[in-house]
């Protein structure tokens, strides 16, 4: 399959590359299929590219790259929906905003994306407390 994006040009992907977010992503409920672009040249940043909307892509980052003691907890309902049987199946990513001045870059630690890398199912969860910020500075304060 192919998608022609304004940012990356034509991307070729297989059905097994698609990550399914049945609930969508906050603010984008209708967007529920993505591919993860993880090129070494952009490391540690990755792109979550919508397969339905070629113009929609999120910069994402492993939250532990920013905050080494980051903790994520999810309940049994999330485990069931994402078919998680082992913690090793879970990839956690934070949507990252890179403004014109990259020194002002932030990551959303309050609402991380959980992805079961085996089932290819994902969901954005929201921490119930305010321990983590929606706009946590990537480069420190």
Using CA atoms, how far apart are residues 104 and 126, in angstroms rounded to an integer? 23
* Cβ count near 29 (within 10 Å): 10
Q: Is the pLDDT of residue 73 over 90?
A: no
* Mean per-residue pLDDT, 31-49: 91
* Mean per-residue pLDDT, 109-135: 93
> Which token pair is 120?
């290819």
Q: What are the residues facing 2 on neighbouring strands?
A: 12
| pLDDT at res. 129 | 76
Q: Write out the DSSP string of 82-115.
A: TT-SSGGGEEEEEEEE--SSGGG-EE--SS-EEE
In Å, what is the CA distance from 76 to each residue of 29, 48, 119?
Answer: 22, 26, 16
DSSP 3-state of 25: strand
| pLDDT at res. 101 | 94
Q: Is the pLDDT of residue 128 over 70?
A: yes
Confidence category of residue 100, pLDDT binned at 50, 70, 90 = very high
Q: Is the pLDDT of residue 43 over 90?
A: no
Using CA atoms, how far apart are residues 117 and 54, in angstroms rounded to an integer? 23
Confidence category of residue 141, pLDDT binned at 50, 70, 90 = low
């Amino acid at each position: 399959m192919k998608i022609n994006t304004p940012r990356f040009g034509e991307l070729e992907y297989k059905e097994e590359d698609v990550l399914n977010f049945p609930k969508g992503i906050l603010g984008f409920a209708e967007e529920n299929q993505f591919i993860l672009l993880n090129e070494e040249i952009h490391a540690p940043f990755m792109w979550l590219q919508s397969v339905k909307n070629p113009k929609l892509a999120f910069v994402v980052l492993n939250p532990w790259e920013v905050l080494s003691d980051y903790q994520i907890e999810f309940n049994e309902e999330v485990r069931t929906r994402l078919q998680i049987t082992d913690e090793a199946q879970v990839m956690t990513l934070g949507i990252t905003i890179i403004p014109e001045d990259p020194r002002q870059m932030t990551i959303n630690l309050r609402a991380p994306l959980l992805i079961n890398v085996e089932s290819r199912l994902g969901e954005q969860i929201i921490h119930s407390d305010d321990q983590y910020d929606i706009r946590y500075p990537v480069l420190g304060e």
